[in-house]
Amino acid sequence: MGAAPEPLRVWQAVVPAGWIDYNGHLTEGYYGVAFGAASDEVLIHLGFDKAYREQHGTFYTVEAHIRFLLEVHEGFQISTDSYILGADQKRFHIHHDLMVDDDPTPVATQEAMLLHVAHAAAGDTPRAAPMVEPVLGNALALAERHATFPLPDHVGRGVRILR
């Protein structure tokens, strides 16, 4: 088997003071903000822009799971390594590793399912609909390129049950 595929590295930020909680590290909600911004940058990379949104629809995150692994502090340079774990005409499964500086150990991970949604007529409920080009082709191609990414053991598991 060949080398693992390269992740997308399309999002980065410096942790601002406003993201820090009373424990002195990144507060829970801002992990979601960071991962949401990373997903948006992946979408842009796939060709999802204002014109696409106006003509074809948008994406909803319909499920997400975050694992908090190590503390993140104010001023840290954070970025994401992102993989498309799978895609079909209406959705894609994405995985992000949140990284600090050049350390190869993730400080957090997020796994999410994004659903393509068509515009609804006035009064109607938005509905899932197939993606169109260029987003569809780019998502399928990236999923194929990332198909050899070794799946981490936490993918697809969710929160553990204590009963």
Element (H, E) at 40: helix 28-46
Confirm if 99 and 77 have CB atoms less than 8 A apart.
Answer: no
| pLDDT tens per residue, range 74-92 | 999 999 999 999 999 999 9
**What architecture (CATH level 2) is domain 12-148?**
Roll (3.10)
Distance separating alpha carbons of residues 120 and 104, to the nearest angstrom: 43
- The DSSP 8-state label assigned to residue 132 in this structure reads -
Distance separating alpha carbons of residues 75 and 101, to the nearest angstrom: 11
Q: How many CB atoms lie within 10 A of CB 45?
A: 15
pTM over 0.85, yes/no: yes
Return per-residue pLDDT of the chain as tens, 163 residues.
Answer: 456 789 999 999 999 999 999 999 999 999 999 999 999 999 999 999 999 999 999 999 999 999 999 999 999 999 999 999 999 999 999 999 999 998 999 999 999 999 999 987 777 888 999 999 999 999 999 999 999 998 889 998 888 788 8
